Amino acid sequence: MNDFLKNLNDILRYTFTSISTILIFLVLLFIFNLGLWWSLIISIGIGAFFFYKQHEASVANPKKRLRKVSSEKEAFYKSNGMSKDEIQFFRETMYAAKLQILTLEKNMHSVSKLTAIEQRNNTVHLAKSLFKEITEEPRRLNEVDKFLYVHLPSLVDLTNKYIEINLHEVKNKSTFEVLDQSATTIDEMCRLIAVDYVAFKSGDFDDMSLEVELAKKAIERDNGETNTIEDQEL
């Protein structure tokens, strides 16, 4: 119970940004007609279960655990006026984002349809570039809330679900319709990642369509420096 209360903010954040728990909430509310409060309580309970399962999986796999901050990196954070708690929060947040980006990269290259969407939007490159920009300017973490807590995790969830459905041995018309709808949503979410990148880089929303296209082309011309984040120190 103490652990639950301690992690309540993280649990609520996970519940209200995870596509899975949002869908569960909507099903309970509109299909099973359980009412707002019961649907909310059950969804939070399921969100807590998923949250702890992810935490246990991370602890069980030492390769996925956050390494101790180096003295050089700690000095960098302190030079930005960050306290010990702020440093820890930033590192944990960005480490979670790193794992999500690496999962997204794997997902986008596992199915031809997702690969086509990736090539059209250059999403993985943009996400990695934005990740590196944030690590260089940690004080601007609050400017990328939508990217870190909504767009990126939602896109990972959507691609996970797409791959799961696509692996079904028997597909009917309904299955293909769901896949098409999912692909459209994934494509739209990829565009939001591009918008997140542009907003962080310029803050100029006067001509967002042009800005997004310029951002994509700039990343395409990149010499490869943003192609990997596995060894990025946090």
Say yes or no: 75 and 40 in one domain: no
Say yes or no: 20 and 75 in one domain: no
Number of structural domains (the chain) is: 2
Q: What pLDDT does 58 receive? A: 47
Q: What pLDDT does 2 receive? A: 47
Helix H or strand E segment including 46: helix 36-60
Distance CA 10, CA 32 (A): 27
In this predicted structure, the answer to whether residue 176 has a pLDDT above a threshold of 50 is yes
Report the amino acid identity of residue 209.
S
Q: What pLDDT does 127 receive? A: 95
Which of the listed residues 46, 65, 84 is the one where a domain comes to its end? 65
Q: How confident is the model at residue 209 (pLDDT cuts 50, 70, 90)?
A: low
Question: Are the CB atoms for 197 and 129 separated by under 8 Å?
Answer: yes
Q: What pLDDT does 137 receive? A: 94
Q: How confident is the model at residue 227 (pLDDT cuts 50, 70, 90)?
A: low
Distance CA 136, CA 148 (A): 16
Mean pLDDT of the chain: 80
Say yes or no: 26 and 93 in one domain: no
In this predicted structure, the answer to whether residue 97 has a pLDDT above a threshold of 70 is yes
In this predicted structure, the answer to whether residue 190 has a pLDDT above a threshold of 90 is yes
Say yes or no: 55 and 92 in one domain: no
Which tops the pLDDT comparison, 172 or 134? 134
Say yes or no: 82 and 159 in one domain: yes
118 C-beta neighbours (distance < 10 Å), count: 21
Which tokens go with 20? 């899975």
Say yes or no: 19 and 42 in one domain: yes
Residues 6+ apart with CB under 8 A from 144: 130, 134, 196, 200
In this predicted structure, the answer to whether residue 68 has a pLDDT above a threshold of 50 is yes
Q: How confident is the model at residue 34 (pLDDT cuts 50, 70, 90)?
A: confident
In this predicted structure, the answer to whether residue 182 has a pLDDT above a threshold of 80 is yes
How far, in whole angstroms, is CA 217 from its chain's centroid?
22
Instruction: Give the torsion sign (CA, 79, 80, 81, 85).
Output: negative
Distance CA 42, CA 59 (A): 26
Which of the listed residues 65, 82, 104 is the one where a domain comes to its end? 65
